[in-house]
Amino acid sequence: MNKRMRALVVVGVVSVLSIVGGAAAFAQSVEITDEEAAEALLDALTGPEGEYAAYASYAAVLETYGDVEPYATIAAAELRHIEALQRLLDKYSIDYPEINSYLGTIEAPADLQSAAEAWDEGEVANVALYEELLAAVAEYSDITQVFLNLQAASQDAHLPAFEAAAESGGVLTSVQDGTAYQGGASNGQGNRGNGPCL
């Protein structure tokens, strides 16, 4: 299994786990009493390294260059991450801006190669953000689990996808029916070049 294939497989699995892992925690609304934990949860969504900013970054690439991979699939994953954080914020009765203020304010890099390299760095920053925020939510197992899931998505899925894209001129050719295709090259599995994806 080559590096691109592993990146795409892991992105899909981790993205699903980040949503499923936190879903059971949202059955009832409660109030959060720890201001530091509330701020950490809000920062994960709205901070400069958070999920709103990440989604806006990938949306800028899609708006400029069209429906290209891995940006399209990772942007969809970021929307699921946003929804997971919003469910937690709702559960704990924490107000948050429903409108992503980063949309339209982040410019796409000059080319897709630069985008892959820049968003690679963005995913590293996202991993670091969750590492920093975890201490503030240690008393809240549901928030901790979602943070760990989102951190894993960045570390184990999105980052490898952008690394693979950077090695391929900034893109992964496409994603279809859960399988990435690399320019029609065969690896003994028909035209499937990279296995299950994001």
Of 23-32, 91-100, 123-132, 189-198, where does mean pLDDT reach its minimum? Answer: 189-198
| Element (DSSP H or E) covering residue 57 | helix 51-65
User: Does 162 map to a domain?
Assistant: yes
| CA dist., res. 120 & res. 103, Å (int) | 19
How many domains does the chain contain in total?
Answer: 1
CA distance 124 to 145: 19
Mean pLDDT of 167-178: 68
Whole-Å CA distances, 132 to 44, 82, 87, 89, 121 = 10, 19, 21, 19, 17
Domain around 166: 9-170
Using CA atoms, how far apart are residues 147 and 145, in angstroms rounded to an integer? 5
AA identity, residue 150: L
Q: Residues 126-142: pLDDT tens digits?
A: 999 999 999 999 999 99
Residue 2 is assigned to a structural domain of this protein: no
Rounded percentage of the chain residues whose pLDDT exceeds 90 = 68
- CATH number at 30 reads 1.20.1260.10
Q: What is the pLDDT of residues 3-41, one digit of tens each?
A: 554 444 444 544 444 444 444 444 455 667 789 999 999
190: left (phi over 0), alpha (psi -120 to 50) or beta: left
Assigned domain for 196 exists: no
Asked whether residue 178 is domain-assigned, the answer is no
In this prediction the pTM is 0.75
Confidence bin at 173 (pLDDT 50/70/90): confident
Residue 30 is predicted with a pLDDT of 66
Is 185 contained in some domain? Answer: no
Mean pLDDT computed over every residue of the chain: 80
- Whole-angstrom distance, CA of residue 42 vs CA of residue 50: 9
User: Domain for residue 125, yes or no?
Assistant: yes
What is the crossing angle of helices 71-91 and 51-65, to 10°? 150
Does 75 score more than 80 pLDDT?
yes
Q: Is residue 103 part of a domain?
A: yes
- Per-residue pLDDT tens digits for 105-129: 999 999 999 999 998 898 999 999 9
CA distances from 87 to 5, 93, 152 (A): 32, 10, 19
Q: Does 74 map to a domain?
A: yes
Q: What are phi and psi of 125, to 5 degrees?
A: -65, -35
